[in-house]
């Protein structure tokens, strides 16, 4: 089965609301952030889970507005380490156009189509 970028966004939002983890497989836009990590143009997975309460650092800004203008979605990735605490769980932005596959909690996989 296939999804559009808009359906990917809806699937992530549904999983967050249900307190489930959904996996999105994306193409990395930039260079690897660590040795052995996915490099530019390679696939990597983000495990998107329920978002914790957001604590802004400084002046208020609308992440939703930024996301919409940049074609991304801010997610809470449970498989990424927080740079400050070293614990798993950190904020990431998913470029909806770069998503190649969505894997639901039950194991169902969807390829993404560009239309």
pLDDT digits (tens, 9 = 90+) for 26-68: 988 877 777 667 878 889 999 999 988 876 666 666 778 888 8
Q: Which pLDDT belongs to residue 104?
A: 92
- Given pLDDT bands bounded at 50, 70 and 90, which one contains residue 100? very high
Nearest-angstrom CA–CA distance, 90 and 88: 7
Q: How many domains does the chain have?
A: 1
pTM, 2 dp: 0.82
- Token readout for 3 is 């999804």
Q: Which domain holds residue 72?
A: 2-32+41-112
Q: Please report the beta strands in 55-108, taking only residues with DSSP state E, as ranges in sequence order.
A: 72-81, 88-95, 99-103
How does the average pLDDT of the chain come out, rounded? Answer: 86
Q: What value does the mean pLDDT take over residues 85-110?
A: 91
Q: Which pLDDT belongs to residue 5?
A: 86
């Amino acid at each position: 089965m296939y999804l559009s970028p808009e359906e990917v966004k809806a699937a992530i939002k549904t999983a967050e609301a249900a307190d489930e983890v959904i996996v999105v497989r994306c193409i990395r836009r930039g260079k690897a952030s660590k040795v052995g990590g996915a490099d530019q143009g390679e696939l990597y997975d983000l495990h998107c889970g329920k978002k914790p309460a957001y604590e802004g650092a400084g002046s208020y800004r609308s992440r939703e507005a930024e996301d919409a203008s940049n074609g991304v979605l801010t997610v809470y990735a449970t498989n990424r380490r927080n740079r400050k605490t070293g614990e798993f769980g950190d904020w990431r932005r998913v470029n909806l156009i770069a998503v190649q596959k969505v894997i639901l909690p039950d194991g169902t996989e969807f390829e993404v189509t560009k239309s």
